[in-house]
Amino acid sequence: MMPVSIRFILVRSIILALLVGSQLYLFLRGDRALRRSRLSPRRKRLLRLGLAGFFASMVIVYLCFLSRGAPLQHASPLVLYGFVYPAAIWSFGSLFSCLFLLLADLIGWCARLMRSDGAATGTPAKGAPDPSRRRFVQTGLTALAATPVLISGYGAAHESAGCRIEEVSLSLGGARPFDPPLRVVQVSDIHAGLFMTPARMRHCAEAVQRLQPDLFVLTGDFISNSLAYLAPCVKEMARVRSRFGSFAVLGNHEHWYGEPEEVIAVLHAGGIPVLHNSHRVVETDRGPVALVGIDDLRFGKPNLDQALVGLDRAIPTILLSHRPDIFPRAAARNIPLTLSGHFHGGQVKISLLGVDFSLAHLLTPYPEGLYQIERSHLYVNRGLGTTGTPVRLNAPPEITLFHLA
């Protein structure tokens, strides 16, 4: 298997190539449109210089952000909302604008090829293209190409803000059901960083506290791209006071940007024990419940068998795993409930005719929500934060409240 560092560099390189390539294509297309326009030569020259400056600055931003671990760790609101957010929104939306325009260019190229083939075989031409019709088509294409950027702005400003409380009622199948049901609150994928500030995390922690949890569990990816964000995240999550404690597991971002031992130490110091291939039996006023936690399935060293060693399997059990793909193995061991995150519900999801489409839906059978194998259940939380871009569409941030009997 490819080492973690090499895979990480490869992923970053692919993202950088896509971003730079999209900006270069959009610049060339914009420059071509300006050269064909009826503007005066002086205005053309000024606009082309401005266009070149804009796209060059975006490429410089990509190189800076993707070559550093945590740029602008403490960005001021002016820098954050006046520069970082607009740049991120443009970058994400322009990728889709680029794809749309590439498709339009491909269709145009095919049409021209068919016309040239028709001319070669003696098919009568339909006359010269109408300039006014061409301008109308170009204006329409430009408007449609701008739509993804506008949608990205909506997704960052509206759908990524706040958090939705999802409530789920399940039975853990114990000999004595919890009465009243145990209130377990799950938070996942906080991604503390530029787009998840301490103020936003404090708001989320207060929302969790209002749910009066008996147990508070966090299923990994506390940080976005630097350990510098970990301590502020832990400080805000430690505000939650649950009756029987808070517990956590690590995600892939903790492995990408830090050492597990260091992350575990910071969480423990904040009063949040990490279940690292281990378990904890919690004595509640309604009987015991076991919490089992494993390391990240892909970038960590997960060991479910080790985590279960010495555990009385008659005790109602909840497994915490950042990635949900452990579920079939958990069900085979008759673990009643597995709680996961990681996929953000797709983060950007399109729903058509009752079918959901997103990158997550292509990568896993468990992108979000509740799943069942025989008597075992899995719940996949959409997470609070975002990764790569502050944009969410049709996959709002989530805090989950479980009523467990």
The per-residue pLDDT for range 250-295, each reduced to its tens digit, is 999 999 888 899 999 999 999 999 999 999 999 999 899 999 999 9
The 10s digit of each residue's pLDDT in 321-373 is 999 999 999 999 999 999 999 999 999 998 888 888 999 999 999 999 999 99
Q: What strands lie across the sheet with 215-219, from one edge to the other?
A: 164-170, 398-404, 182-187, 215-219, 246-249
Same domain for 72 and 139? yes
For residues 276 and 368, membership in a common domain is answered with: yes
Q: For residue 353, give the CATH number of its domain.
A: 3.60.21.10
Domain boundary among 133, 159, 185: 159
Based on the domain organization, do 86 and 63 belong to the same domain? yes
- Phi and psi angles of residue 278, each rounded to the nearest 5 degrees, phi first: -150, 175
Give 122-133 as a DSSP string. Answer: TPPP--SPPHHH
For residue 153, give both structure tokens.
């702005």
289 touches 282 (CB < 8 A): yes
- Domain end marker among 102, 135, 159: 159
Structure tokens at 155: 């997704």
**Full residue range of the structural domain in which residue 8 is found:** 4-159
CA dist., res. 7 & res. 45, Å (int): 43
Across residues 80-107, what is the average pLDDT?
86
Model-level pTM? 0.85
Domain count, the chain: 2
Say if residue 102 is in the same domain as residue 41: yes
Which residues 6+ apart lie within 8 Å of 216 measured at CB?
184, 185, 187, 208, 240, 242, 245, 246, 247
One domain for residues 195 and 313: yes
- Final residue in a domain of this structure, among 108, 126, 159: 159
Q: How many CB atoms lie within 10 A of CB 132?
A: 8
Q: Is the dihedral of CA 369, 319, 220, 258 positive or negative?
A: negative
